[in-house]
Amino acid sequence: MTYAAFYQESIQDPQGFWAKEAQLIDWHKPYDQVLDHSKPPFAKWYVGGETNLCYNAVDRWLASQADQPALIAISTETNTEKTYSFAELHAEVQRMAAIMLGLGVKQGDRVLIYMPMIAEAAFAMLACARIGAVHSVVFGGFASKSLATRIDDAKPVLVISADAGMRGGKAVPYKPLLDEAITLAEYKPAHVLLVDRGLDTMQIEAGRDVDYAAARAQHMYAQVPVTWLESNAMSYVLYTSGTTGKPKGVQRDVGGYAVALASSMKHIFCGKPGETYFATSDIGWVVGHSYIVYGPLIAGMATIMYEGTPIRPDAGIWWSIVEKYKVTRMFSAPTAVRVLKKHPSELMRKYDLSSLKALYLAGEPLDETTSSWIANELGVSIIDNYWQTETGWPILTVAHGVEQTSTRLGSPGIAMYGYDVRIIDENTGAECAANEKGVVAIKGPLPPGCMQTVYGDDQRFVNTYWSNFSHEQLYSTFDWGIRDADGYYFILGRTDDVINVAGHRLGTREIEESISSHPQISEVAVVGVEDKLKGQVAVAFAILKKPELAETPEQKRALEAEVMSVVDKQLGAVARPSRVHFVSILPKTRSGKLLRRSIQAICEGREAGDLTTIEDPSSLQQIQAALKV
């Protein structure tokens, strides 16, 4: 079947299409109805059916591949590696589940997980799924205030954490942050389960804090049966990053999510049982949920859980892992590739990468230079993909498991099956023609696996996502985009990151791409800064390939003029930045995302916000120093 026909079937006959995809997972009880869309925009998938995420990820593989690798936990920070077979993972998950039950966790209760990238974090997520508890994973190292707001919103009966994580060879204490968060929170969890890695001393609160190792020892031979859940029961709540005020919890179901992951692993990521999948993300983000913990295991693959950076002990570390564990599919972010690009290619080439079939990149726009470089180095398909925490799996990419569709530089791809994607004019609500810029929107119902609602606030779900266009109820991604005549989409940046210069609306992505085309620029961030005359002006911060080219004020001015000239020629004078500042590092989170909001705040003389996830605080000082020049 061609992908075009496959896609059309998913849009025109969602009931029939998703009934076939549902056969990719095991059901304890058949569903009565594939889709209930009687109360749009809310959609219920596989109504009446009973299944379980943990069963599909672990138990169902015991008969065929119990002794094959399931979870490979690697830490280059502590120099440890351990492989768990499906049988061993099954035993560890039951031990964790028994501990939870012993601490009073019941079906439907929330369990907050605040952990580094260690095997116990995966045990905890899968154990929650096994007993029908709802996990809420919070990125390890989040500030106490941010953690407290999530505790108050989720109201977990149990928090699972550790003494510390490690980053760049330094311990990052978690327990003091957690203790402060619980002090700040109005809601007090009954218990805190702690994994002591021996990295930092912990203050233990009697009656509340429980040692994981001791509890595990009491449940070594635990047998905890699967709790079968109705398909639309809640599986987890994941708070979107960058929220202000009341957190926005993305609520996910069980059955629809399991089907979507099984389907995407087959059609998009082409994973097969017995192979190895390596996603370099963190369980605190949606990629970690979908494509570190659940997706690969549901596909019967071994999944790698990695604690460390891409360049420690050297920039060959990821590729040594690919060789050792015969990784077939790898998932990372463009920023990580740009980091690797600064290091000698020999560190990559010295390893046997013949097992690797494709590298998938997501999380931010993939520029052509980065894509071409890594494709040339690896000699495998580089597949961009675009999606959101809210959708749980890709909206735009190519589905090589259906048809070998070509990729297109600068584009994340075409609309994935189940997603009726539109480009909408925000003023008229009309659908845009080819190559016309508009808001990327999706006509309901959203396919299986997408968010059910905002946790605890259905009206916020409707108001935030489904009420942005006057003529029709459409889901807004809040991203600008265009679709070319062949159906390939190009993402131009967030609608709320758009710069409005004297009435002209400009996407930061467009200006960044223009500046990046200058031969001396390796990376750039563009933000809109308040201006009394024009409303906003664009300000750029760029990293040079050769810093010596801008050592003197005269050199900086000349290079700045060159860069502005490039933008003038490509986008017109209206898009020209008011300033181009040269720095050696840009502020990023530890997961590799640019902190554009923080850069903007510094430019406007405001507080830079919650910076607990920042990789290198000196980068903010560089922004401040550059503004003074």
Q: What is the CATH number of the domain that holds 366?
A: 3.40.50.980
Residue 402 shares a structural domain with residue 272: yes
Buried b (16+ CB within 10 A) or exposed e, 579-607: bbbbbebbbbbbbbbbbbbbbbbbbeeee
Residue 575 shares a structural domain with residue 434: no
State the Cα angle at 247 between 245 and 252, rounded to 5°.
160
Q: Which residue has the tokens 């530089």?
A: 409
Q: What are the contacts of 343-346 at 24+ separation with CB within 8 A?
A: 343/311, 343/314, 343/315, 344/315, 345/377
Residue 445 shares a structural domain with residue 574: no
Report helix, strand or coil for 532: coil
Establish if 251 belongs to a structural domain. Answer: yes
Alpha-carbon gap, residue 97 to 101, rounded angstroms: 6
* pLDDT for 112: 98
Alpha-carbon gap, residue 136 to 128, rounded angstroms: 10
CATH of the domain at 236: 3.40.50.12780
Residue 439 shares a structural domain with residue 322: no
Pairing mode, if any, of strands 80-85 and 69-75?
Answer: antiparallel
State the DSSP string of 138-175.
--TT--HHHHHHHHHHH--SEEEEESEEEETTEEEE-H
Establish if 488 belongs to a structural domain. Answer: no
What is the pTM assigned to this prediction?
0.86
Establish if 479 belongs to a structural domain. Answer: no
Residue 251, φ and ψ in degrees, nearest 5? -100, 130
Do 458 and 466 touch, CB atoms closer than 8 A?
A: no
Which of 330, 354, 378 lies at the terminal end of a domain, its last residue? Answer: 378
The tally of CA atoms less than 13 A away on the side-chain side of residue 174 is 27
Total domains, the chain: 3
Do 50 and 76 touch, CB atoms closer than 8 A?
A: no
Do 102 and 215 touch, CB atoms closer than 8 A?
A: yes
Establish if 345 belongs to a structural domain. Answer: yes
* pLDDT for 232: 98
Residue 308 zone, left/alpha/beta (φ > 0; ψ -120 to 50; rest): left
Residue 362 shares a structural domain with residue 415: no
Q: Give the tens place of pLDDT for each residue, 439-481.
A: 999 999 999 999 999 999 999 999 999 999 988 999 999 999 9
CATH of the domain at 594: 3.30.300.30
Establish if 374 belongs to a structural domain. Answer: yes
Alpha-carbon gap, residue 124 to 134, rounded angstroms: 11
Residue 251 shares a structural domain with residue 168: yes
Do 435 and 484 touch, CB atoms closer than 8 A?
A: yes
Establish if 293 belongs to a structural domain. Answer: yes
State the DSSP string of 364-407.
S---HHHHHHHHHHH-SEEEE-B--TTTSS-SEE--TTT--PPP
Alpha-carbon gap, residue 311 to 378, rounded angstroms: 17
Which of 441, 465, 489 lies at the terminal end of a domain, its last residue? Answer: 465
Establish if 278 belongs to a structural domain. Answer: yes
Alpha-carbon gap, residue 584 to 544, rounded angstroms: 7
* pLDDT for 145: 81
E strand segments, 392-471:
396-397, 414-415, 420-424, 438-443, 453-454
* pLDDT for 88: 98
Residue 172 shares a structural domain with residue 269: yes
Which of 327, 347, 378 lies at the terminal end of a domain, its last residue? Answer: 378
Which residues span the domain enclosing 316? 309-378
Residue 172 shares a structural domain with residue 66: yes
Residue 578 shares a structural domain with residue 506: yes
Residue 532 shares a structural domain with residue 603: yes
Pick from 586, 600, 605, 574: nearest CA to 338: 586
Alpha-carbon gap, residue 45 to 43, rounded angstroms: 7
Establish if 7 belongs to a structural domain. Answer: yes
Residue 547 shares a structural domain with residue 575: yes
pLDDT under 50 in the chain at which residues?
Answer: 242-244
Residue 374 shares a structural domain with residue 439: no
Buried b (16+ CB within 10 A) or exposed e, 32-70: eebbbeeeebbbbbbeebbbbbbbbbbbbbeeebeebbb
